[in-house]
Homo-oligomer: A and B are copies of this chain.
Amino acid sequence: MRQFIIVGHDAPTSPDFSLDDLTGGAGRLDVLCRCVTAAFLLSHGIRDEVRVHLVLQDEVTVTFEGEELRRLNPDERSTAALIRAALAARDEAIGAMAANPSPGVYLIRKGLRGVIDSLDAQSPLILLHEDAEALIETDPPANPAFVLSDHREFTADEADTIEDAADGRVRLGPKRLHADQAITVAHNYLDTDGFSRY
């Protein structure tokens, strides 16, 4: 299982946005949509063994379960529609109970700390950060939970929370990448482990 926790700072927490305006009225939901598709989609199919947590303004989290997901398309708009449907079910999420408005899509009233606290012991938290050992130099864990930010930097509070909990940090290369690109590269490194020269 590979998990990706994406901290969304400029993201909607209610379904009151238009699918025609993902980069405006919906904050920058386009960034998070690309992270979801980068995490799950292969050319022919879905990566089953993946879970994605979109932490929206530290208020609610939309979690996608690869094993249960149906009808995830690669375009931003259709992914945004899934997130909007999750936000529309927000009232069904009570306390620790998640709403589950469509297969494989859950909404829960948790912020970043709650998501991190819910990781099991077999899933080490790995910060994707440019000031770190190269992923290619490391021995990747079997069940990593990567945490990364959207297009904004982590806030000081978020950085503290992550520092306290992280089991490691890795960088993906010499260039600073967008969050979805980082997910694609991380997958490829893990995919090629034991495949080529590793």
- Show the binding face of A for B, using Cβ within 8 Å: 19-20, 22-23, 30-31, 34, 38, 41-44, 73-78, 134, 136-137, 151, 172-178, 181, 184-185, 187-188, 191-192, 195-197
**Copy count, this protein chain:** 2
- Other-chain residue from B42, B73, B172, B175 in contact with A177 (beta carbon distance below 8 A): B42
Q: Which residues of B contact A184 (CB under 8 A)?
A: 177, 181, 184-185
- For the complex formed, measure the closest distance between the CB of A140 and the CB atoms of chain B, giving whole angstroms: 14
Q: Is B74's CB under 8 angstroms from A34's CB? A: yes
Q: Is B197's CB under 8 angstroms from A175's CB? A: no
Which residue, of A20, A77, A151, A176, has the highest number of chain B Cβ atoms within 10 A? A77
Cβ-closest chain B residue relative to A29: B75
A-B contact pairs, 10 of them (CB 8 A): A38-B181, A43-B176, A74-B178, A76-B77, A136-B197, A172-B188, A174-B195, A181-B184, A184-B184, A188-B188
> Which 3 residue pairs are nearest across A and B when measured between Cβ atoms?
A43-B176, A30-B75, A134-B196
Q: Which residues of B contact A23 (CB under 8 A)?
A: 73, 75, 77-78
Cβ-closest chain B residue relative to A74: B178
Q: Which residues of B contact A41 (CB under 8 A)?
A: 178, 181
Whether A42 contacts B176 in the complex (CB less than 8 A), given A23-B75, A75-B30, A77-B23, comes out as yes
